[in-house]
Structure 1
Amino acid sequence: MQPCDLNSTGGAVVAARFYAPTGAPKAVVVIGGAMGVRQDYYAPFAQWLASQGYLVASFDYRGVGDSRRAPLRRVDADLFSWTDDFDSVIAAALQRAGEVPLYLVGHSLGAQLPGLLQHRDRVAGLVSVAAGSGYWRDNAPQLKRMVLYFWHVLVPVATWLFGYFPGRRIGKVGDLPRGVVLQWRRWCLNPRYHVGAEGAPVRERFEAARFPLVALSMTDDELMTERGTHVLVDCYANAPRRVERIAPADVAAKRIGHFGFFRDQFQSSLWARTAALLQGFQLSKETT
C-alpha cells in the first residue's frame, strides 16, 4: 500500500492509498466510501482486490480522516466538492495504470456520486454496495422513527452551534463539514434525492451516464430499503442497471447489514461475487 496526497479543487488535499497488484494491473478499481466512513475501513477489501490483479485506490473526502488538514469548522466543502475529490483520485489512478478499464465500487454515498463525475465516460462499471436514495421515507423502518428529528432539529442546531456537524460527539454518522451535511439534509428531504433537490443540471448528468451498474442490496440493511435502492439506481436512467438482493443466509452469515460487506469474513462469498461482477463488466464489453 502506498499513501499519496493528491490535489483537488479549491486547493484541497485528498489523502489516497494505492494498492498495487503483482505485475501489470488488469484494471483499476476506485473505492468510493460511505458518508463519515474513513478509508481505513476498506483496507482489507482493497488489499484482497489487489491480490486479484487490480490496481485499487481508496481515499478520504476532504475534511474526513487523513484528508482533514484543518479544524472542521474551517473546511469549505459540499457534496459537489467531494465529487471533485473522487475525480482527482480517479485521474491519479488512471495515470498510474494506463489504458486499462476503470471500475468503481461505491459504498452508500460512494454509489450516489458517480453520476456527477467528470470522468464518468471513462467508467466501465459500478458495483453499488448498500446504497440507495437517502430520502427519509425510503429509509429502513427503525431509522425512519427518528430521522425527522435528526434532520429538523439535531442537524441544524448542532451544526449552528459547532460550525460543523459533530457526529462523533452524538454517535451519529461522524464529523462532517457544514456544507456537506446541510446539502445532504436537503437531498434527504426530497423524494427524488439529489436529482430532485438539485434539479435539471444534476438530473441530466445522471441521465448521461452509460456505464453498467449492479446494485447489491442487503435484506437486513438497517438504513436502506429495497425501494430506496431502486430509486437511486433509476437515477442512472440510461445506464444498463439491475439490483441484486442478498440475504445473510445466502452467504452463511447471521448478519450483513449496511456495513458488514467489507468485513474479511466475506472474502470467499461477497468479495468473490464482486470480483466476478467486475470480470463480467469486462466480458460484456468485449462481447459487445
Structure 2
Amino acid sequence: MNYYTRHSPRQAVIADDGREQPVTTFDPDGKPRGVVLVVPAMATRSSFYTPFATHLAERGWRAVTFDYRGMRTRAEMKVETADVDRWFGDVRAILDAVADDADDLPVTLVGHSLGGQLVPFIDHTRLASVITVAAGDGHWRRNQPGVRWIAPVLWSVVAPVAIRLAGYYPGGRLRILGDLPGNAMRQWARWCLHPEYLQVDHPEAPSLFAEVKAPMMSLSFTDDELMSAESTKHLHDWYTNAEMIRQRFSPEQLDGRRMGHHGFFRAQNADLWDELVEPWLAG
C-alpha cells in the first residue's frame, strides 16, 4: 500500500495557551482503519518515529507524530520555559484535535516511555486502546543496576550545572540521555528523586490513574538499560481499572535482538511491529 505524509487535517494544534504545536500525519492510500497517536519518549524527537509511522500507514492506519514543545532545535531549547506538565497539556490538546479529525475512527495511543506515563493527564476517554513501550516510573532506586547509582548525581549535580552553563540540558554532548529544555529537565529530575515519582507534583495521581479504563498493553524488554522490571510494574500497577496485558521479552525470545530503551522503534524491527503492535491497534 502506498502512503503519503501530510500536515493535514491540521498543520498545527493550538494548545490552551495559544501556542501552535506542529503535527505530522501519515495517511494510507484509502480510508484509514484507525488512528494511531505516537507519543514520544523524553529527549526523543518525532523524526525517530518516522519509520514506525510510515509502516503503520502502509498497513492502513493514519499515524500522527509530534515533538514536545521546545524540542526541535537547541536554539529553541535555550529559550523554552515549558516543563513536563506543560508538555502533558500540549498532548491533551493534540489528542483532542486528532480525535476530532478521526471521523469516528478509533484512536490508539502508542506511548514510548514518558508517553506511557501521561495517559491519566489527557482525555483518555477518547482512546479506544493504549500501548505502552518501555514505560516505567523513573525513580532512581527502581532504575536498572547499571544506572541506579549514577542517577542521583545526574539529577542533583550534573544536570543543574549543565543547564546553568549551556542554557538547556546538553545531554547529547554529555552522552547522558538527550538534549532537553531546562525546565523540563528540572521537573523530571525532581520526579526521579522522589520515591513515588510524579506524585511529588501530583498527589492526585493515584486517583487519576485509577480513572483510566481504556484497554492497555504494556510492552517491555529485559535489556532496557533504563527501565527495570520493577519500574515497569510500579508504573502499570497504578492503572488499577484498566484491562491490562503485560508482555516482557528477552533478547533470546526475539532471535537475539537487543531492544534496549529505544531499539523497538528502529526500522530493522518492523517485523515485530506487525507481531507485537498491530494486534492491539483499534480498528
Structure 2 contact 217–245 (Cα < 8 Å) conserved: yes
Structure 1 residue runs of 5 or longer lacking an equivalent are 283-288
1:152 alignment partner in structure 2: 156
1:285 alignment partner in structure 2: none
CA distance in 2, matches of 1:265, 1:69: 29
Q: CA deviation at 1:135?
A: 0.5
CA distance in 2, matches of 1:97, 1:71: 31
Mapping of 1:89-128 within 5 angstroms? 89-117=94-122, 119-128=123-132
Structure 2 contact 152–193 (Cα < 8 Å) conserved: no
Mapped pair 1:82 → 2:106: no
Structure 2 contact 25–65 (Cα < 8 Å) conserved: yes
What TM-score comes out, normalization by structure 2 length?
0.91
1:226 to 225, 229, 239: 229
How many residue pairs get matched?
276
Q: CA deviation at 1:56?
A: 0.7
> Relative to structure 1, is the Cα distance of residues 49 and 209 closer, same or farther in structure 2, using a 3 angstrom cutoff?
same
CA distance in 2, matches of 1:201, 1:266: 38
Structure 2 residue runs of 5 or longer lacking an equivalent are none
Structure 2 contact 99–126 (Cα < 8 Å) conserved: no
Q: Secondary structure at the match of 1:253?
A: coil
> Given residue 41 of structure 1, which amino acid in structure 2 is its aligned partner?
F
> Given residue 193 of structure 1, which amino acid in structure 2 is its aligned partner?
Y
Higher helix proportion (structure 1 or 2): 1
Mapped pair 1:263 → 2:266: yes
CA distance in 2, matches of 1:178, 1:254: 35
1:186-235 Cα deviation digits (max 9, x unpaired): 111112211x2124333322221111211111011111101100111012
CA distance in 1, matches of 2:76, 2:281: 39
Mapped pair 1:14 → 2:21: yes
Q: Secondary structure at the match of 1:9?
A: coil
What TM-score comes out, normalization by structure 1 length?
0.90
1:56 alignment partner in structure 2: 63
Q: CA deviation at 1:113?
A: 0.9
CA distance in 2, matches of 1:112, 1:247: 23
CA distance in 2, matches of 1:5, 1:168: 27
Q: CA deviation at 1:70?
A: 5.7
Q: CA deviation at 1:69?
A: 9.5
